[in-house]
Structure 1
Amino acid sequence: MNDEKTVALVTGANKGIGYAIAEGLGAQGMRVGVGARDDVRREEAVEKLRAAGVDAFGVPLDVTDDASVAAAAASLDRLDVLVNNAGITGGWDQRPTEVDLDTVRSVVEVNVYGVIRMMDAMLPLLRRSAHPRIVNVSSGVGSLTRQSSGGDTGPIATAYSPSKTFLNAVTVQYVKALAETNIKINLACPGFVATDLNGFRGHRTPEQGAATAIRLATLPDDGPTGGYFEDAGEIPW
Structure 2
Amino acid sequence: MTNTLITGANRSLGLETARRLIEAGHTVYAGMRDPAAGEAVRELGARVLQLDVTDQDSVDAAMRDIPALDVLINNAGVLGHSFTVDDLDATAMQTVLDTNVVGIVRVTQAALSLLRESTHPVVVNVASGVGWPRFLLGEGRDERPVLSVPYAASKAAVVALTVQYAKNLPTFRVNASDPGYTATDFNGHSGHQTVTEGTDATVALAMVAPDGPTGEFHDRTGRIAY
Q: Same fold (TM over 0.5)?
A: yes
How far apart in 1 are the matches of 2:59 and 2:29?
13
Superposed CA deviations along residues 7-54 of structure 1, whole A, max 9, x for unmatched, are: 001000000000000111101111001110112112x0333213xxxx
Note the C-alpha offset of 1:113.
0.3
Note the C-alpha offset of 1:156.
0.3
The letter for the 2-side match of 1:47 is R
Moved more, 10-19 or 203-212: 203-212
How far apart in 1 are the matches of 2:80 and 2:104?
17
CA-based RMSD of the aligned residues comes to 1.4
Match of 1:49 in 2: 44
Does residue 39 of the first structure (1) align with residue 35 of the second (2)? yes
Is the 1:145–1:236 contact (alpha carbons within 8 Å) kept by the matching residues of 2? no
Q: Secondary structure at the match of 1:168?
A: helix
Is the 1:143–1:236 contact (alpha carbons within 8 Å) kept by the matching residues of 2? no
How far apart in 1 are the matches of 2:6 and 2:138?
33
Does residue 63 of the first structure (1) align with residue 58 of the second (2)? no
- Give the share of equivalent positions with the same residue, in percent: 40
Q: What is the 5 A alignment of 1:70-89?
A: 70-89=60-79
1:30 to 8, 23, 26: 26
1:112 to 83, 97, 101: 101
Moved more, 97-106 or 197-206: 97-106
Note the C-alpha offset of 1:153.
1.9
Q: Secondary structure at the match of 1:9?
A: strand
Is the 2:130–2:146 contact (alpha carbons within 8 Å) kept by the matching residues of 1? no
1:126 to 115, 134, 142: 115
Note the C-alpha offset of 1:100.
2.5
Which portions of structure 1, spanning 4 or more consecutive aligned residues, are displaced by more than 6 angstroms?
A: none
How far apart in 2 are the matches of 1:104 and 1:159?
5
The letter for the 2-side match of 1:30 is H
Does residue 140 of the first structure (1) align with residue 129 of the second (2)? yes
Is the 2:8–2:14 contact (alpha carbons within 8 Å) kept by the matching residues of 1? yes
Match of 2:148 in 1: 157
Is the 1:35–1:59 contact (alpha carbons within 8 Å) kept by the matching residues of 2? yes
How far apart in 1 are the matches of 2:42 and 2:159?
33
Structure 1: tracts of 5 or more residues without a match: 51-55
Match of 2:202 in 1: 213
Superposed CA deviations along residues 82-112 of structure 1, whole A, max 9, x for unmatched, are: 00000011146x2224312211111100000
Is the 1:108–1:163 contact (alpha carbons within 8 Å) kept by the matching residues of 2? yes
Is the 1:194–1:200 contact (alpha carbons within 8 Å) kept by the matching residues of 2? yes
The letter for the 2-side match of 1:122 is A
How far apart in 2 are the matches of 1:186 and 1:47?
27
Match of 2:162 in 1: 171
1:230 to 216, 219, 223: 219
Does residue 101 of the first structure (1) align with residue 97 of the second (2)? no
Structure 2: tracts of 5 or more residues without a match: none
Note the C-alpha offset of 1:206.
1.1
Note the C-alpha offset of 1:59.
1.0
Note the C-alpha offset of 1:148.
4.2
Note the C-alpha offset of 1:80.
0.4
2:16 to 20, 23, 37: 20
How far apart in 1 are the matches of 2:208 and 2:137?
31
Is the 2:128–2:179 contact (alpha carbons within 8 Å) kept by the matching residues of 1? yes
Number of paired residues?
Answer: 224
